[in-house]
């Protein structure tokens, strides 16, 4: 058995089904083993970055170890962005970084880099194989670390060593699944603080996965509205009478209200990063499986290390059933008002152009399958997915929500569709994100993956423009001179459709979703759609006013009129009111 064979056999025994990557000479000894092996597939992407994103998506959806690989130097360097995303999303990914011949390391050889240095910040474990005898231990430690710590591990393997003989059997990998629970005294302290609170609000994140019934039971006793982070949306939003939506820049005013109006905030499995949306005076309790997360964003009155489901189950019998529900009722009423306001913006009239992106997201939500898997690009597609996609306990939602990388959606869709070939996978792509790794359209055809790309086409880096306008800066460098993407899709062998008016959206989405193969629906959406955050600060209000003044003075006043036309008068009045108050 060679080291390459040892590697593939170990991965196969651990349940790995495929390796995403691009072949290269330093990987030849590994890919040749895959050619002869019937248990693992080689998923050939057009860019290693896409392979790392695809592996991260597979790990996210399955909870199992996923693998990507890159050849020496530039090849494995492309992995880094997708690996950063997987690591920050806490999903188990093993990266095989091929290296130059072992005898040439340190000589400034052709394509020489030092992956053990480059990947240190985005992995829990990274090590170089120097001898054949070292391989089993390093491989076992790397895989075990990725699985146990839920993150990235990297094995750096010189191409010449992969062909050397291995004199040992493949290492065995364990799959621990411990349940962590605070001490009995801490549970009592938690119950006491929650019982004392008059107005309790829950903020839940991705750590609430698998804890839906326990979460609702506690919320019912506390009469607590539940706000969720974006990563918590798929686990918290569905069948939830206490749901008051998202908070943060992508969220709803109702979510921000429920948090700021509370005298006790219970944070569950979330590392929500935006301090401006967290209270300064309320009693704050945080429960997280990782102790290093506690108190990182806000000053805590109580921080506990524990599994959310187990901790809620332990504290629930000790909670008093609160009779007063005024805080909950007001928060829900506020949410219903905000939900109606958002739904009112998602309208599309026959012949209307450009199309409201809210309308596109709303219709997509209606026509997609009950168990669809959505991926969304960073920028405005994330915004519309957060506000208009409805989770139901079966659907899944992926994005680069922690790392915030462009070009993630299509690449993640590759991994999602590979892992779940029978499910509907929809990539909500932006024109900037799709163009950045557009070669993966060819991967769809080559791998025969029936991913459906829904393209929000507005000829701009739209979210960047919104950020500039909020800061009072004229948009610059955000224009995109785009081709007809539907033509590109057809040329690549996809079903290519182009919706230019609102009445074309629904039938084209339905046609694409029914198509037996990959499809791309390009939808021309309004570039100037204004997204009002849940609460408008005086600084933001000043920024929008300053932007409008600068636009007029620079001869771009027509842009201000364009900005106003697709948005409700109420929103712009709110901006003006805040500006006057400031």
Residues annotated as part of the active site: 48, 110-111, 378, 463
Question: To which H or E segment does residue 10 belong?
Answer: helix 3-13
The C-alpha atoms of residue 185 and residue 166 are separated, in whole angstroms, by 52
Q: What residues contact 368, with CB distance under 8 A and at least 6 apart?
A: 374, 395, 424, 426, 513
- Could you tell me which of 347, 423, 345, 89 has the C-alpha nearest to residue 230? 89
Residue 430, beta-bridge partner list:
456
- Could you tell me which of 308, 318, 315, 316 has the C-alpha nearest to residue 179? 308
Dihedral sign (CA 496, 380, 121, 9): negative
Burial category of 320 from C-beta neighbours within 10 Å (exposed 0-12, middle 13-18, buried 19 and up): exposed
Give the three-class secondary structure for 475: coil
- Could you tell me which of 209, 216, 144 has the C-alpha nearest to residue 174? 144
Do residues 287 and 306 touch, judged by C-beta distance below 8 A? yes
Do residues 209 and 191 touch, judged by C-beta distance below 8 A? no
Radius of gyration of the chain from its Cα atoms, rounded to whole angstroms: 25
In the 8-state DSSP scheme, what is residue 204? Answer: E
* Token pair of 212 as six digits: 């839906």
Give the three-class secondary structure for 63: coil
The C-alpha atoms of residue 231 and residue 397 are separated, in whole angstroms, by 8
- Could you tell me which of 522, 399, 365 has the C-alpha nearest to residue 61? 399
496 Ramachandran zone, left/alpha/beta (phi>0; psi -120 to 50)? beta
Do residues 461 and 478 touch, judged by C-beta distance below 8 A? yes
250 Ramachandran zone, left/alpha/beta (phi>0; psi -120 to 50)? alpha
């Amino acid at each position: 058995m060679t080291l390459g064979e040892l590697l593939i056999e170990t991965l196969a025994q651990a349940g790995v089904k495929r390796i995403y990557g691009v072949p290269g000479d330093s990987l030849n000894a590994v890919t040749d083993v895959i050619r002869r092996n019937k248990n693992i597939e080689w998923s050939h992407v057009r860019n290693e970055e896409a392979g790392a994103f695809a592996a991260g998506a597979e790990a996210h959806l399955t909870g199992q170890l996923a693998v990507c690989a890159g050849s020496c130097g530039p090849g494995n360097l492309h992995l880094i962005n997708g690996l950063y995303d997987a690591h920050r999303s806490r999903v188990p990914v093993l990266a095989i970084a091929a290296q130059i011949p072992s005898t040439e390391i340190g000589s400034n050889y052709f394509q020489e880099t030092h992956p053990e240095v480059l990947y240190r910040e985005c992995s829990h474990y990274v090590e170089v194989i120097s001898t054949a005898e070292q391989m089993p231990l390093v491989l076992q430690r790397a895989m075990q670390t990725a699985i146990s710590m839920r993150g990235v591990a990297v094995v750096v393997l010189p191409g010449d060593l992969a062909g050397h003989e291995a004199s040992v059997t493949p290492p065995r990998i364990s799959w621990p699944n411990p349940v962590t629970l605070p001490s009995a005294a801490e549970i009592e302290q938690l119950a006491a603080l929650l019982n004392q609170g008059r107005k309790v609000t829950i903020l839940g994140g991705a750590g609430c996965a698998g804890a839906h019934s326990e979460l609702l039971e506690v919320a019912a006793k506390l009469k607590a509205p539940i706000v969720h982070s974006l990563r918590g949306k798929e686990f918290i939003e569905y069948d939830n009478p206490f749901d008051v939506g998202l908070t943060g820049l992508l969220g709803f005013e109702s979510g921000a209200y429920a948090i700021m109006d509370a005298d006790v905030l219970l944070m569950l499995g979330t590392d929500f990063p935006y301090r401006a949306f967290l209270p300064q005076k309320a009693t704050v309790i945080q429960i997280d499986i990782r102790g290093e997360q506690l108190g990182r964003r806000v000053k805590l009155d109580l921080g506990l290390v524990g599994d959310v489901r187990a901790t809620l189950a332990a504290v629930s019998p000790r909670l008093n059933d609160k009779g007063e529900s005024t805080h909950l009722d007001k928060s829900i009423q506020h949410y219903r008002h905000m939900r109606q306001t958002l739904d009112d913006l998602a309208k599309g009239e026959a012949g209307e152009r450009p199309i409201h992106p809210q309308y596109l997201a709303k219709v997509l939500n209606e026509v997609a399958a009950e168990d669809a898997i959505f991926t969304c690009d960073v920028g405005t597609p994330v915004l519309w997915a957060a506000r208009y996609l409805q989770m139901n306990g079966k659907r899944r939602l992926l994005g680069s929500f922690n790392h915030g990388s462009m070009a993630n959606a299509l690449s993640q869709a590759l991994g999602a569709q590979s892992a779940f070939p029978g499910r509907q996978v929809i990539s909500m792509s932006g024109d900037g994100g799709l163009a950045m790794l557009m070669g993966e359209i060819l991967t769809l055809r080559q791998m025969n993956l029936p991913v459906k790309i829904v393209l929000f086409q507005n000829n701009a880096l739209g979210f960047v423009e919104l950020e500039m306008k909020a800061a009072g800066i004229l948009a610059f460098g955000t224009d995109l001179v785009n081709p007809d993407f539907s033509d590109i899709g057809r040329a690549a062998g996809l079903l290519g459709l182009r919706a230019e008016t609102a009445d074309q959206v629904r039938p084209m989405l339905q046609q694409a979703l029914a198509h037996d193969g990959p499809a791309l629906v390009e939808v021309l959406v309004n570039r100037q759609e204004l997204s009002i955050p849940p609460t408008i600060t005086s600084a933001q209000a000043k920024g929008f006013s300053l932007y409008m003044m600068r636009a007029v003075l620079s001869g771009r006043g027509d842009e201000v009129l364009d900005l106003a036309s697709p948005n409700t008068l109420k929103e712009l009045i709110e901006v003006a009111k805040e500006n006057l108050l400031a």
